[in-house]
Chains A and B, each alone.
Chain A
Amino acid sequence: MPITRRDMLLGGGLAGAAALARPALAQSAPIRLGWLAALTGPGSSAGIGFDRGVNFAVNEINAAGGAKGRKIELVTRDTQGDPTKCVNASVEMAQRLKVDAVWGPCNSGEALACTPILARAHVPQIHPCFVDTLIDTTKYPNAYRIACSNQQLGEASSKYVLEIMKVREIAIIGDTTGYGTSTVQAYAPTIKQMGGNIVYQALIEASQADLSADVIRMRDAGAKVIMPWSVNGGLLARLLNARAELGWDVPVVGHPALGSGEVKALLAKPANWEKVYLMGFRSCSFDEGGKLPQRTQNFVQRISGKINLADTSLWWVACGYDVANLIAKAVAESGGASADDIIKAWNGLTKYPGIYGDYTYTAQQHNGYPTDEIVLSAANSFRDGAFALAPGYG
C-alpha cells in the first residue's frame, strides 16, 4: 500500500502527541516504592512492625492527594529473612519492576547481600539495618540508613554504663553467631577508649543449656554490669535466670531482644527481669511520668484503633511511617522521582522531623539517625509497643 502525504502527516502528528504526553504521564504516574519485607519466617516480627507503619503512611499520603499529586504504590516482596530471596527480589525490583526507590530489607544479613545490587542499579535504598559497613557513600552512594548503626549503639550503651550508671567494671558477652562475635569485637575497644575496664569477655554458644558457670566467672572477675549482645531469646533468658539463681543483682545492659516476649516467656520468674536495660530510642520511650514525647503521642493517637501496638514495637511502626514520608518529601521537593532527584533531596535533609527521629543526611554522611536519641529502657516496662526510660535520664 502506498504511503500518502496524509498518512505521513497523521503519523507525524501521533508521534508528536506521544512525545508531548510522556512527561505529562510521568508527572502523574505513581511513585513505585519497593519494600523488601521479612513478613514470615524467623525474625519476621520487625518486618511486620515496619510493614504496618509504611502501609499506614502510604494510605495517609495517598488519601491526601499523594506527593505532588502522585500516589505512592508500595510493591512488597516477602523475603522471609532469607538473603537469597532478598537478592532475587532486589533484582526483580531494579530490573523488571523499575521501582523508584527501595525500602529495606529488615536485617543486616539480607542487606549485606542486596545493597551492592541496588547500588549497581542506582536505585535509592533506605534501610533500618545496624551493621556499620552497610553505609559507605563511596561503595553504595545511593544507600541510606534510617535507624542507628552498631557503632552508635555501642557508644550509647557504653555512655550509659560509664557516665550515668558510673560503673567501670564490665563483663561483655556475645553469642557465637556473626552478629554476637562482631559486636563484642567492635564494642570492647569502644568501652576501653571511653574509660571502661573489661573484666570479662566471652562468646557463648547459643545452645548452652545453663549459664551458671559463666555468670560465676563474671562475678568472680569483679563485673559490676553485664552487657550481652545476642538476639537469641533462649540465651538471654538463661543468663537472667542464672543471675537470679546466684542471687546476684548485677544490672544487665544490652540488645533490644532483652525486652522481647520470648525472653519474658522463658524467665523462671518475673523478678528475673529486674535491673535489665535494653537499647531503645527516646522518641519511642515513656518518660518518668509514663508519657511519650508529644510528637510521638500525637502519632499514637492517630494510629489508635488502626494499628495494633500490643504485639510489636512502636519504633518499628514509626520508622516504617517515616520512610514513606521521606519518599514523599523527596518527590515534593525535587518535583521528580528519578534516582538523582531522590538522592539530591535526601542529601539536603537537616533535622527532618520524623516520628522515630530527626534525620540529617549529606552527600558524605548517609547515617541519618542522631546518636543522642539512643537511650536505655527498662526491659520489663513494655506497654503499647514502647518501654520506659531506664533510670538516670531525668
Chain B
Amino acid sequence: MLAAILATGLATGAVYALIGITYNVMFSASRVMSFTSGQLGMLGGVFGTVFALWLHLPVLAAFVLTLLACAGVGVVTEIVAVRPVLANLDKHLYVLSTLAAALLIQQLVAIKFSTEPQPFPRLLGLGAGVLDEKFWLPIVAGAAAIGILEHVQRRTLFGHAFLAIAEDSYAARALGLPEKRLRMASFAIAGAVGGLAGFAGGELMLSYVANGALWSFYGFVPVALGGLGNNRGAIIGGLALGVFQQAANFWLGGIFVSIATFVVFIAVLLAAPQGLFGTQAARRV
C-alpha cells in the first residue's frame, strides 16, 4: 500500500514539478508568472492523444510533434499575452492577460477536443504494478528536463545569455543581448517543458481539459516551495507535494486533500517566505 502511495505521489509530483519549471522558465526571461503553464501541460496530453491515437502516428513522432506544438503555443502566448503588456501597459496586468490566454486555451480544447477525460496511448509498454511506466515516466521526464536545462544554463552561451537577462535585463540589453528573442525562446522552451509534463503524465492522468486549471494551481506550489526561479527546488517541492497529497488522500480522505495541502503550504511560506530553497535577495537601498 505504501508503495502504491509513493508511486502515485512521486509520479503526480513530477508532473507538478515540470509545471513548476514551466513557470520558472517563463519567469526567468520575462519576470512574468504566466497562468498558461498548467494549460500547456494539459495540451501535452491532448496533443499526445490526437497525434498518437487519433492520427495513429508512431509514439516518437507524436512526442516530437507534441513538444513542437506546445512550444508554438508558448510562443503565441508570449506574442499575444505578454509582449503587449510589457511594452505598453502596467507590467502587473500580465496576470489578467495570461489568465485570459489560459481560459482561451481551455475553452478551445473543451470545444474542439472533449470535455470528458480521453484515453492516452501506452507509450513504451514497460513495467507492471508500482513499476509500471505510467509511474516512472513522469519522474524520468522531470530528471531529463532538469538535466538539460541545467546543462544549457551553465555550459552554453545561450544559457549564459538567459541568466544575464534574468539577472538584469537592462544591463543585458545594454550589452547587446536580444532580449525579445530570448524571451520568446524562453516561452518556447517553457511550452515544450509543459508539453513534456502532460505527455509523460498522460498515461496516469489522461488527456483531460480539467487538468489545465488543476495543474496551474498545483504547479505553482512547487515554485513557491522551492523558491522562485529555482528549478531544483521546484523538483523537490513538486515531489514532496505529490507524496503529501497522496498520503493526505489516503489517511484523511479525498475531501480534505486540498485543505491539508494548503495548510502545509501556507505554514511553510510563513516559516520561509523565500521558499525552502530560495535565497534572500539583496535589495539596493
Contact = CB atoms under 8 A, between A and B. Distances in A.
Contacts of A265: 118-119
B279 interface: no
**B interface residue count range (under 10 / 10 to 19 / 20 to 34 / 35 or more):** 20 to 34
Contact of B5 (A181, A213, A266): A213
Contacts of A232: 117
Interface string A107-125: 0000000000000000000
Interface of A: 41-42, 175-176, 181, 202-205, 207-210, 212-214, 216-217, 220, 232-234, 237, 245, 262, 265-266
B97 to A, nearest CB: 26
Contacts of A213: 1, 4-5, 8, 246, 249-250
Contact of B257 (A41, A175, A205, A220): A205
Contacts of B130: 212
B253 A203 contact: yes
B115 A41 contact: yes
A203 B118 CA distance: 23
Contact of A233 (B8, B117, B135, B214): B117
Ordered nearest first, which 10 A-B pairs have the shortest CB separation?
A234-B117, A205-B254, A212-B4, A210-B8, A204-B254, A213-B4, A42-B115, A203-B255, A209-B204, A262-B116
A228 B182 CA distance: 51
B163 to A, nearest CB: 35
B47 to A, nearest CB: 18
28 contacts: A175-B254, A202-B253, A202-B254, A203-B253, A203-B255, A205-B249, A205-B255, A205-B257, A208-B254, A209-B205, A210-B7, A210-B8, A210-B135, A210-B204, A213-B4, A213-B8, A213-B250, A214-B250, A217-B1, A217-B250, A232-B117, A233-B117, A234-B117, A234-B206, A265-B118, A265-B119, A266-B119, A266-B206
Main secondary structure of the interface of B (DSSP, over half): helix
B135 to A, nearest CB: 8
A233 B118 CA distance: 9
A249 B226 CA distance: 43
Contacts, number: 70
A175 B117 CA distance: 15
Interface in B206-227: 206, 208, 210-211, 214
A214 B130 CA distance: 14
A210 B4 CA distance: 8
Contacts of A204: 249, 254
Contacts of B257: 205
A134 B254 CA distance: 28
Given A208-B249, A216-B1, A203 B254 contact: yes
A234 B253 CA distance: 18
Interface of B: 1, 4-5, 7-8, 11-12, 115-119, 128-130, 135, 204-206, 208, 210-211, 214, 246, 249-250, 253-255, 257
A378 B246 CA distance: 32
A352 B60 CA distance: 61
Contacts of B249: 204-205, 208, 213
Nearest to B135: A210
A209 B8 contact: yes
Contacts of B11: 209-210
A262 B117 CA distance: 7
B249 to A, nearest CB: 6
A208 B135 CA distance: 14
A245 B206 contact: no
A208 B249 CA distance: 9
A208 B129 CA distance: 17
A216 B117 contact: no
Contacts of A217: 1, 250
A234 B129 contact: no
Contacts of A208: 249, 254
B210 A207 contact: yes
Contacts of A266: 117-119, 206
Contacts of A202: 253-254
Nearest to B210: A207
B238 to A, nearest CB: 14
Contacts of B253: 202-203
B76 to A, nearest CB: 26
A234 B207 CA distance: 10
Contacts of A207: 205, 210-211, 214
Nearest to A45: B116
B243 to A, nearest CB: 12
Given A181-B255, A202-B254, A234-B208, 4 more contacts: A176-B255, A234-B116, A234-B206, A266-B118
A140 B7 CA distance: 51
Contacts of B135: 210
Q: Name the residue in A41, A208, A216, A220 with the highest tally of chain B Cβ atoms < 10 Å from its Cβ.
A: A208
A220 B1 CA distance: 10
Nearest to B206: A234
Nearest to B257: A205
Nearest to B120: A266
A41 B118 CA distance: 16
A181 B256 CA distance: 13
Nearest to B129: A245
Nearest to A266: B119
B271 to A, nearest CB: 27
A214 B255 CA distance: 14
Nearest to A205: B254
A234 B12 CA distance: 16
Contacts of A203: 253-255
Contact of A209 (B12, B210, B250, B254): B12
B262 to A, nearest CB: 14
B198 to A, nearest CB: 13
A234 B116 CA distance: 8
Contacts of A262: 116-117
